[in-house]
Amino acid sequence: MYQMSQTKNEIVGIYAVWYREFKVFLREKSRIVSSVINPILWLFIFGAGLGSSINISGLNYQAFIFPGILAQVVLFSSVFYGVYIVWDRKIDFLKEVLVAPISRTSIFIGKVLGGATDAMIQIIILLIFGWIFGLVGLIPGLHITLFTGIGALFVLFFTTVSLTSVGLILGSQMESPEGFQLISSFLLFPIFFLSGALFPLNNLPVWLGSLTKLDPMTYTVDAARHIILGTSQYGLGLDLIVIIAFMLVMIWLGTYAFEKMKL
């Protein structure tokens, strides 16, 4: 018999869960392509259309929404990734993982890292596109450097961890995939619209302003905008505090939901 220390077992278990998620991600090429095409459509059709008649605090509108579009990719990709666990349960694949001699916390961490890897790959591709668009003048005013790119990646990594956890919490409680549409209409779109991804936050009516403050994504968009464009509403310090606090709470709730998850 082979004996490894329990800690090493758990780490290998986390790697195992991640390994599967990553393989599946690489095989679903259509998903990667559409996850990059969609945001580019937002930038060039929505951004150019609205941008032709407005510019915001001296910034080109397409440049202004670029950080918001990155946040949107993280939001949709991460939450849906988490909710996908419903499919694992629909067949008996989830049981195969749960009956293995590793803790549910490790399974949860592996899943979160898998979701984060997916989202980060998409973000890196988009950052490279953004860098090129700025360089050739397609989006004037967008100047991404290696330094700001890595900074944005860090902030978005924390957020993808939180949002993958949100998805896994929802997915661990759902019994069938029929709820997918509801999640995107009642959760993701409101969160996206309220995050200030598409408009500045400084001139809003009171009711809307208060709602944006309750939206955790607001702080991610604000932080990414600060890093990439040098302009922000709340300042990087407050943004990071909210982002990291939200992440810790979601990880805690997520591990709890996984412990309690019934089959």
Partner 1 sequence: MQIIKTENLTKKFNGFTAVDNLNLEVQEGEIFGLLGPNGAGKTTSIMMLTTLLKPSSGTAKVNNFDIVNQPDAVRKSIGVVFQDPSSDDTLTGYENLKLHGLLYGMPADLREQRIKEVLKLVDLTDRRNDLVKKYSGGMRRRLELARGLMHHPKVLFLDEPTLGLDPQSRTTIWAYVQELAKKEKISIILTTHYMDEADQLCNRLAIIDHGKISALDSPSNLKKVIGGDVVLVKVENPNLDEIKKLDFVKKTQVHDGYVTLTVANASENLARILQTIGKVESVDVHLPTLNDVFLHYTGKEIREGSAEGGWGERVMSFRSRKN
Closest CB to partner 1 among 25 and 64?
Answer: 25
Instruction: Name the minimum Å distance from CB 128 to partner 1.
Output: 27
Nearest approach, Cβ of 113 to partner 1 (angstroms)?
Answer: 14
Please name the amino acid found at residue 30: S
C-alpha dihedral sign at 192, 193, 199, 201: negative
Instruction: Between 25 and 199, name the residue whose CB sits nearer to partner 1.
Output: 25
**Binding footprint of partner 1 on the chain (CB under 8 A):** 1-2, 4, 8-9, 12-13, 15-17, 19-20, 23-24, 27-28, 91-93, 95-102, 175, 262-263
Our CB check for partner 1 shows the closer of 175 and 189 to be 175
CB of 119 to partner 1, least distance (A): 19
Q: What are the E-state strand segments in the chain? A: none
Find the shortest distance in angstroms from Cβ 102 to partner 1: 6
**Least separation in angstroms between CB 260 and partner 1:** 10
CA distance 151 to 140: 21
Q: Cβ closer to partner 1: 20 or 213?
A: 20
- Closest distance between partner 1 and the C-beta of residue 78, in Å? 20
Q: Which residue matches tokens 């902030």?
A: 155
Q: Which is nearer to partner 1, 91 or 146 (CB)?
A: 91
Nearer to partner 1, 35 or 148 (CB): 35
- The total of other beta-carbon atoms located within 10 Å of residue 1's CB is 2
Direct distance between the N- and C-terminal alpha carbons of the chain, in angstroms, rounded to an integer: 30
